[in-house]
Amino acid sequence: MKKSKILLALVILITFTGGIFTGVFYTKTKTEEASKPHKIEKASESVKLPEEKAISEESIEESKVLLGYVQDFRDPNVVDYSKLTHAIFSFAHPTADGEILLNGDTAINNLRAMVKEADKYNTKVILAVGGWFHINGGESYEPFKAAISNPDSRTRLVNELTNIADREQLDGIDIDFEHPRSKADAANLAAFAKELSDQLHPKGKELSIAVYAKIHAVTGTEMGFVVYEPSTFQYVDHVNIMAYDGQWDGGYNAANLSPYPFTEKIVSYWANLFDQNNLPKEKLVLGVPFYAQPENPDIKQVSYAAIVNSDPANAVNDTVSMNGTIYHYNGVETIKKKTNLALDHGFGGMMLWEAGHDSKGDHSLTTAIYDELVKSNNNLAKK
């Protein structure tokens, strides 16, 4: 367990930031006005609620999900929706008083484009709220904490998220509170999840939550500085385990990004937790990274796509030498092993951060996961 607040910040500093600092992935808007925070308007009373989408017969069985996070600046047309059951648009940013902000006109336009494109493949679109960094600067933790700690602002945030889900014809909301750091935080997160569930589920919409891995990458023991109330998971459909970014555990070591043995311990921990609390393990979704961590921390992370583009042979490896340093990542074979690990433990599917980092064509990690899920479904059908 980390006792120092400073070390705590280092340990969780880059959770979910693999995509934010990967190569040159951020595209600025053309005008300053377009990049300003975009306050979400209330949904009109005349909004027609969309029918819940179904997964096509050609896709994987709906019970085995493949969720892909997509950053708000990403061109929605680069995502392979044909392989995803859910595309999670990241992020809406909570304010302390329970409002939500999007990153300018670019974000709202990309969200709408995603809904239109995903619909062609019966892929569900979910809006993630939170993330690590806040649009107004600093961590999202403080404003998110404030919003869900007060009953009035918590209800306001629930209503804001429900309104945008209705208005933009979304299929649900994903909670990314990074991270609950006390029993009080955990209780407030549970209350928030319940209230949001009560609003979304009667509309046929889904609710998911991203969770910290909870396992130390070096010692393999439980990390206690992130706290969850198990009852929280009663209210959600999917629990997306961020099983990566272990490189800060016990001192910086890029090799601890997300190696297979680390993932084995994470999967075992969450499977046992759900068994002990009589929660269905089908809700558990194993997350994998689509980016690489450099051994030289002064060098930025790179995408899996950049690694494969430099040499397609890198797809089957987990390390590569580029840009004057060695990078650690998950290649195709490791991703396949992790997918089967999750399935063997009764998990409901897989999650990836982030879809825009994947390689196209034969070496796609999304395709590798998809194929393993389909193979598993076929094997079950033969029994």
- Whether 24 has a pLDDT exceeding 50, the answer reads no
The one-letter amino acid code at 121 reads Y
Segment 9-23 shows an average pLDDT of 39
- Whether 103 has a pLDDT exceeding 90, the answer reads yes
Q: How far is CA 376 from the centre of its chain?
A: 23
Domain borders along the chain are 5-382
Q: What is the pLDDT of residue 32?
A: 36
How far apart are alpha carbons 150 and 2 in whole angstroms? 28
Question: Distance from first CA to last CA of the chain, Å, rounded?
Answer: 44
Pairing of the two strands 124-131 and 100-102: unpaired
How far apart are alpha carbons 192 and 147 in whole angstroms? 9
Reduced DSSP (H G I as helix, E B as strand, rest coil) percent helix, strand, coil of the chain, to 5: 40, 20, 40
Alpha helix locations (H) across the chain? Answer: 5-12, 104-119, 141-149, 151-167, 183-200, 260-276, 304-310, 332-344, 365-382
- Whether 242 has a pLDDT exceeding 90, the answer reads yes
* Domain 5-382 CATH superfamily: Glycosidases (3.20.20.80)
The one-letter amino acid code at 336 reads K
pLDDT band for position 28 (50/70/90)?
A: very low
| Both tokens assigned to 305 | 């796509």
pLDDT band for position 12 (50/70/90)?
A: very low
Q: What is the pLDDT of residues 145-200, one digit of tens each?
A: 999 999 999 999 999 999 999 999 999 999 999 999 999 999 999 999 999 999 99
The one-letter amino acid code at 149 reads S
Secondary structure class of 383 (helix, strand, coil): coil
CB 124 within 8 A of CB 171: yes
Secondary structure class of 372 (helix, strand, coil): helix
Segment 237-249 shows an average pLDDT of 97
- Whether 350 has a pLDDT exceeding 90, the answer reads yes
Q: Running DSSP on this structure, what letter comes out for residue 101?
A: E
The DSSP element (H or E) to which 308 belongs, if any, is: helix 304-310
* Least confident range of 56-70, 212-226, 322-336: 56-70
